[in-house]
Amino acid sequence: MAEATVKTTDFVHRFLPAPNVAEAPTLLILHGTGGNENDLLPLGQALLPEANMLSLRGKVLENGMPRFFRRLAEGVFDQADLQFRTTELGDFLTEAADRYGFDAKRVIAVGYSNGANSAAAASLSGCRNSRLAAMFHPMVPFVPETLPDLTGKGIFIGAGKNDPIVPVANTVNLASLLTEAGAEVVTQWHPGGHSLTQAEVQAAQIWLQQKRGLA
């Protein structure tokens, strides 16, 4: 199957198939604010080159910059829009699996910043499409009234100890919520800020290779 670059009523996205689409896991790649469907493809290919790559462009624009859901201020999210967009993302994933022939139960979410927040929101909403997720510099998107059952789900969190956007306490809170929900959470700290570092990418790569049997 050839690479697909598609614009639908749902998401602008790119799909790069593995040689055996149906048998390979699929990385659902979610960029940060101002990114697009091309930005993190090199990250996905570095993390798990044998996987299908499904990379999306966020539909919400903030001063012309694509995002996956609205925010009211830095770190203050529009909860109604977040809930709507999380459901929308799950619906699109089901549609994309049918369209491209990959296994919707073998999806690995890979997100950075706003995209990582979107992946965290999907997990806290109880999304069962993926049993693995790699989140780079996420925040707590919301605190559910009742935690979902995430038993058997593996989550990698990459975080900076001097991140000016995501305080350390927020990262710790997110990891605690996910752990309390039953997920197996690994947090990789680095001394820097909000930028993605080679050290955390390498740590996530090792983690994914160890855990990929769950996907």
Let me know if 195 is a catalytic residue.
Answer: no
Let me know if 163 is a catalytic residue.
Answer: yes
The CA angle 200-75-115, to the nearest 5 degrees, is: 45
129 bridge partner residues: none
Domain edges within the chain: 4-214
Let me know if 98 is a catalytic residue.
Answer: no
Does position 83 have pLDDT exceeding 50, yes or no? yes
Does position 97 have pLDDT exceeding 50, yes or no? yes
pLDDT given for residue 215 in this prediction: 58
% of the chain surpassing 70 pLDDT: 94
CATH superfamily of 4-214: Alpha/Beta hydrolase fold, catalytic domain (3.40.50.1820)
Please report the DSSP string for 129-184 in residue order. S-SEEEEES-------SS----TT-EEEEEEETT-SSS-HHHHHHHHHHHHHTT-E
From 10, 78, 125, 194, the catalytic residue: 194
From 13, 55, 113, 137, the catalytic residue: 113
Q: Mean pLDDT throughout 26-30?
A: 97
Does position 3 have pLDDT exceeding 60, yes or no? no
